[in-house]
Amino acid sequence: MAMKIIEAAPARRVLRWQSTMTRPRGWVCHSCRSNVAVASRRFLSTPPSATDKPYYVTTPIFYVNAAPHIGHMYTTVLADVFKRWQTLLGNRAFLCTGTDEHGMKVQQAASLAEMAPKQFCDENAERFKELAHLARVDYDRFIRTTDPDHVEAVEHFWFLLRDKGLIYETKHEGWYSVSDECFYPESQLVKHQEAFTGAVYMASAETKSKVEWVEEKNYCFRMTELKDRLLKFYEKNPEWIEPAYRMNEVVHWVKNHLEDLSISRPVQRLSWGIRVPGDPSQTIYVWVDALINYLTAAGFPDWAPGESHKGGWPVDLHIVGKDILRFHCVYWPALLMALDLPLPKKVLVHSHWTLNKRKMSKSLGNVVNPIYAINRWGVDTTRFYLLSEGGIADDADYNNNTLVIKYKKFLQWGLGNLLGRLTRPKAWKLRDIIVNSFNEKAASRPQLSNTLHRAVADFEHALAEFAPTVAGRMEKHNPVGAIRKVLETGTQLNEFLSQTQPWALVKSPDPTQKAAAERVLFLVAEGLRISGILLQPFLPDKAAQLLDILGVAPDKRSFAHTVLRCDPDYGVPMSDPGRSRQDGLFPPLIEDSVIEFGGNIKARKKATSTDAIVQTEE
């Protein structure tokens, strides 16, 4: 197969891969070196020998027919977390995101805007790119389906399907949804009544999108020939889709609704897209075009024999919304199977964000604008809320009031308060505590009281399990559980400080009491240091600031350094910890919103659950 790809490729390209962060080679104390090695090996997602294959994670590419909304940000930030997590582990990683720019919806949106389709796509693609930058998404390729290398990949993929006899010409008729860009069998249709106008029309039972009867000549992909292979694959790989219950939906659909797939549209109806090779009267179906982007970014079709993995193929993790489950878990594996290409290793399907428990919709005027949210709350606060409250299995409801409550509890009064309690007091110096703790010999340690000894021992055990627990949740593709573990640990560290009261112990003339205070403060410092390291994939800016305040060197911020007593050199701040909560790591949020009339500030009001986040039509 690889030789055939090379022989048929119309052009050669040189793969360029950006080097991602490798594991720091900083000094590690001898006593914990073996623990670091074990921790690092335990959570490598790729075998140590497969150093030439990056961990490949993708978002779906997003339609440019409308501005980005909060769901786009959520999907992209999820992918960013998994990419950054792999980097934290010391693995090379590659993140691809981008825009889907062909198809009927884009053609119609460009026409309504009275713009040429390419100009329309250029302007709207920049919006998605801007969002990725504002959201601190560390992508390696922002792909557009109008990119020349992608057009080449799609044409080549078509050629290979046709060469294998898997494409045939036919007169196709059926119920077509412009909104969903697909045909629906009659068994999946319902009569739907529009809530506002009362109009009744045929619609998809799943999406409620309007369908129309279409009769046209086009090309079809013999997808039904792959039915048995698909079902066998699902049976052998029951955890291929997460959450697992989504697999039941896919299997049911393949068993009961699978048909040959119409993969072209007459140019008279759809002119904006990639033409069928050899037949300019037909345009390639937008979803076939779109799915191939994952191959394009991995260097297809210019793979040398046995080296497709160097570009990242197969994908390690596809992240998609539940509304495109069928396209990624039926159409996509069928297309790849048809060419005997390796299938993606995992598909993570997340649920949607709602507003006031209602599905977001432009027609309802309740679409949350992520750029508004970032501008109001800050990027890491917005990321924190989406990642800690976002729905994988179930829909999540966006609410500013909930965001503020969670921010105060876990960030302002949690990690932020804890960092201030550790770094601001004049009764001790953090650097002295770190030095004393590493210089202190176990045999010469003063004996703690039984109560304090148990508390210290219990918390030391909890911190030893902290990083492995977070890593275990990430291995199970549970980022919500992972970040919640970090936040819960911050709460527990604050409680530990309040219970042990080191500020009282450190003032005692009794050296035993002072030693007890330093034992407590050292454990709190270690808990914060490990928390900061683990937070880097989730809150990259605030995590970096936290580690700077603790004085943790940049080359000691990898997962390998989440082991207790692993870094004897921190404690001298590289960033000002501030003097109060107002200028601390997580300062109070501004909860009042300003109402402006004609550019003049007239009044203030208490922020509501949707203030300054709802996107209006332009």
Beta bridge partners of 62: 99
* CB of 548 closer than 8 Å to CB of 533: no
Domains 2-17+54-350 and 400-583 share a fold: no
Query: Is 11 a residue whose pLDDT tops 50?
Result: no
Query: Is 197 a residue whose pLDDT tops 80?
Result: no
* CB of 229 closer than 8 Å to CB of 335: no
Residues in the chain: 618
* CB of 512 closer than 8 Å to CB of 532: no
Beta bridge partners of 174: 214
CATH of domain 2-17+54-350: 3.40.50.620
User: Which CATH architecture group holds 400-583?
Assistant: Orthogonal Bundle (1.10)
**Residue boundaries of the structural domains of the chain:** 2-17+54-350, 400-583
Query: Is 328 a residue whose pLDDT tops 90?
Result: yes
370-to-72, 323, 348, 456, 540 alpha-carbon distances in Å:
8, 20, 22, 43, 18
What span, in angstroms and rounded, lies between the C-alpha atoms of 567 and 561?
7
When pLDDT is cut at 50, 70 and 90, the band that residue 201 belongs to is: confident
Question: What confidence tens digit (pLDDT) does each residue in 581-612 have?
Answer: 788 899 999 864 433 333 333 334 454 555 54
* CB of 225 closer than 8 Å to CB of 339: no
Span of 124-138, 209-223, 365-379, 534-548 with lowest mean pLDDT: 209-223
Neighbours of 387 (CB within 10 A): 21
The structure's pTM equals: 0.84
Give the relative orientation of helices 370-377 and 117-134 as an angle to the nearest 10 degrees: 30
Question: What confidence tens digit (pLDDT) does each residue in 145-159 have?
Answer: 999 999 999 999 999
Give the relative orientation of helices 379-389 and 479-500 as an angle to the nearest 10 degrees: 110
When pLDDT is cut at 50, 70 and 90, the band that residue 615 belongs to is: low
* CB of 338 closer than 8 Å to CB of 161: yes
Average pLDDT over residues 216-236: 96
pLDDT at position 252: 96
Beta-strand ranges (E) seen in 452-606 are: 592-597, 600-606
Percent of all residues in the chain with a pLDDT value above 70, rounded to a whole number = 83
**Burial 98-113, CB ≥16 within 10 A → b, else e:** bbbbbbbbbbebbeee
Query: Is 224 a residue whose pLDDT tops 50?
Result: yes
pLDDT at position 14: 26
Query: Is 186 a residue whose pLDDT tops 80?
Result: no
25 vs 94, higher pLDDT: 94
Query: Is 316 a residue whose pLDDT tops 50?
Result: yes
When pLDDT is cut at 50, 70 and 90, the band that residue 182 belongs to is: low
Percent of all residues in the chain with a pLDDT value above 90, rounded to a whole number = 66
**Mean pLDDT across the chain:** 85
Question: What confidence tens digit (pLDDT) does each residue in 538-568 have?
Answer: 999 999 999 999 999 999 999 999 999 999 9
What span, in angstroms and rounded, lies between the C-alpha atoms of 297 and 312?
9
Query: Is 46 a residue whose pLDDT tops 70?
Result: no
* SS3 (DSSP) at 557: coil
Query: Is 305 a residue whose pLDDT tops 80?
Result: yes
The type of residue at 435 is V
Token duo for residue 388: 């800690």
Span of 4-13, 350-359, 400-409 with lowest mean pLDDT: 4-13
